[in-house]
């Protein structure tokens, strides 16, 4: 891929119940104000992630202001501990105090937490005002922004309080992700691997051959990965734009992952936790005879390099013992009157669908056994050497 991709604005439609246009490219920041000119509004409220405000946020703010667009900058902390109703209420109160109106537009500029906070605030203030999502993390660009779901954490679990709210559009300048560390890039790639395992099997070879290491990911590599991952997720959303039926397969590994992420207060970041969750799910699928041992090993081969970065957190056993993971799962946001159900593979590329909702009820003892098997396998892999699974 060469430099002809720089500054060239492209777009694709995200296939959701309320379809959203995603604009993307490299170094497209200067085009943002031009896109804003297509809308009528009194003021723009730029809600910026404090982690990247000095790196990217202030520059975009000045770019917008330089086009004589009335804009207000509001900085928030992108922490899981801030992604709560209390944090959301504080944000809404501050925006109202700054005289936000029904004619205003909110721009969520940052990672997934900032995007969720901005999207949910926009849904609630005055019963709904418009907003735009500008993800700056690779996970935000390739996964969380391809959804109309907005949520904050409840007192007992991840994303328990939220709604569906579509942005006017999503804006992805791939250059922003270049300043992320390799740990976060690898964590984001796990969602692309998930898409391949549950549906888009043609992508498995791509991820098998994908090499990521410190300092090896330039913006053109990120652009290529962005296209692969967003296209694979969009294929699934096209089957179920409501995000309430078939698209639940996108939650593969997330029931376990959300529990791990919540129990560690985000010390194990989302992609790492979901990678672990998919390996646990694979243990269950193999135990029940749905997939072969070879398919289970494929999970570890694909995913182990992407959560290995943070495996030292598995040494804080009091937080994430198998028993505590199982207990935390009881608070999962997909729980129904029948209890917690799980997305499982029937085979690589196809999910189980015994009751029409692409989820399976499981015995707690089986789940606990397979979490323990996962822990045992991780221990073995660490002892045998991580390099083997990078091949």
Q: What is the pLDDT of residues 134-157, one digit of tens each?
A: 999 999 999 999 999 999 999 888
What is each CA distance from 75 to 50, 100, 145, 165, in whole angstroms?
6, 15, 20, 22
pLDDT of residue 40: 96
| CATH number, span 3-179 | 3.40.50.1970
pLDDT band at 387 (very low <50, low <70, confident <90, very high): very low
Is the confidence at residue 92, as pLDDT, over 50? Answer: yes
The DSSP symbol for 216 reads -
Distance of CA 120 to the CA centre of its chain: 16
What is each CA distance from 266 to 53, 141, 199, 309, in whole angstroms?
21, 19, 28, 14
pLDDT band at 291 (very low <50, low <70, confident <90, very high): very high
Q: What is the 3-state secondary structure (H, E, C) of 238-303?
A: HHCCCCCCHHHHHHCCHHHHHHHHHHCCCCCCHHHHHHHHHHHHHHHHHHCCCCCHHHHHHHHHHH
Least confident of 161-170, 330-339, 371-380: 330-339
pLDDT of residue 265: 83
Is the confidence at residue 389, as pLDDT, over 50? Answer: no
Catalytic residue, candidates 149, 221, 235, 346:
149
pLDDT band at 380 (very low <50, low <70, confident <90, very high): confident
Q: What are phi and psi of 79, to 5 degrees?
A: -115, 145
Catalytic site includes residue 149 = yes
Distance from C-alpha of 81 to C-alpha of 231, rounded to nearest angstrom: 32
Mean pLDDT, residues 190-218:
90
Burial call 344-366: b when 16+ CB within 10 Å, e when fewer: bbeebeebbbeeebbbbebeeee
Is the confidence at residue 237, as pLDDT, over 90? Answer: yes
The CATH 1.20.1090.10 domain(s) of the chain lie at 182-390
Pairing between β-strand 105-110 and β-strand 44-49 as defined by DSSP bridges: parallel
pLDDT of residue 215: 65
Bridge partner list, 345 = 351
Higher pLDDT, 3 or 235: 235
The DSSP symbol for 103 reads T
Q: What percent of the chain has pLDDT over 90?
A: 74
Ordered alpha helix ranges (H), the chain: 32-36, 58-66, 85-97, 112-124, 138-139, 182-198, 204-209, 219-239, 254-263, 270-287, 293-307, 322-329, 364-384
- Helix (DSSP H) and strand (DSSP E) numbers for the chain: 13, 13
Mean pLDDT, residues 345-369:
96
Catalytic site includes residue 133 = no
pLDDT of residue 308: 57
| Residue pair 187/267 in contact by the 8 Å Cβ criterion | no
Q: What percent of the chain has pLDDT over 70?
A: 90
Bridge partner list, 106 = 45, 131
Hey, which CATH number is domain 182-390, 1.10.260.40, 1.20.1090.10, 1.10.1520.10, 1.10.20.10?
Answer: 1.20.1090.10
Average pLDDT, the chain: 90
Higher pLDDT, 18 or 296: 296
pTM comes to: 0.91
Mean pLDDT, residues 294-314:
76
The CATH 3.40.50.1970 domain(s) of the chain lie at 3-179
Catalytic residue, candidates 80, 133, 191, 251:
251
């Amino acid at each position: 891929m060469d430099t002809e991709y720089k500054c060239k604005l492209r777009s694709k439609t995200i296939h959701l119940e309320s379809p959203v246009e995603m604009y993307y490219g490299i170094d497209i920041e200067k085009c943002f104000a031009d896109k804003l000119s297509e809308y009528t509004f009194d003021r723009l409220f730029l809600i910026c992630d404090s982690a990247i405000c000095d790196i990217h946020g202030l520059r975009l703010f000045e770019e917008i202001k330089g086009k004589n667009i009335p804009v207000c900058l509001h900085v928030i902390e992108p922490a899981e501990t801030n992604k709560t109703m209390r944090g959301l209420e504080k944000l809404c109160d501050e925006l109202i105090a700054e005289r936000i109106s029904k004619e205003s537009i909110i721009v969520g500029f940052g990672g997934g937490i900032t995007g969720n906070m901005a999207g949910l605030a926009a849904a609630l203030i005055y019963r709904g005002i418009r907003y735009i999502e500008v993800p700056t993390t690779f996970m935000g660009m390739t996964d969380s922004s391809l959804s109309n779901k907005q949520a904050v954490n409840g007192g007992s679990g991840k994303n328990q309080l939220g709604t569906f709210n579509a942005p006017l559009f999503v804006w992805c300048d791939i250059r922003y992700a270049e300043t992320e560390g390799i740990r976060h890039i690898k964590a984001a790639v796990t969602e692309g691997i998930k898409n391949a395992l549950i549906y888009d099997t043609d992508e498995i070879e791509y991820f098998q051959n994908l090499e990521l290491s410190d300092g090896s990911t330039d913006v053109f590599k990120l652009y290529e990965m962005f296209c692969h991952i967003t296209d694979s997720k969009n294929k699934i959303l096209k089957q179920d734009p409501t995000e309430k039926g078939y698209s639940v397969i996108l939650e593969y590994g997330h029931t376990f992952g959300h529990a791990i992420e919540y129990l560690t207060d985000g010390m194990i970041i989302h992609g790492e936790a979901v990678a672990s969750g998919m390996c646990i799910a694979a243990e269950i699928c193999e135990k029940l005879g749905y997939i072969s041992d070879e398919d289970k090993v494929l999970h570890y081969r694909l995913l182990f390099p992407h959560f290995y970065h943070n495996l030292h957190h598995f040494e804080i056993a009091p937080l994430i013992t198998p028993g505590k993971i199982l207990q935390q799962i009881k608070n999962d946001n997909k729980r129904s009157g029948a209890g917690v159900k799980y997305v499982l593979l029937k085979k690589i590329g196809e999910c189980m669908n015994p009751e029409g909702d692409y989820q399976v009820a499981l015995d707690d003892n089986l789940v606990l056994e397979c979490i323990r098997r996962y822990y045992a396998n991780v221990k073995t892999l660490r002892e045998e050497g991580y390099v083997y699974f990078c091949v």
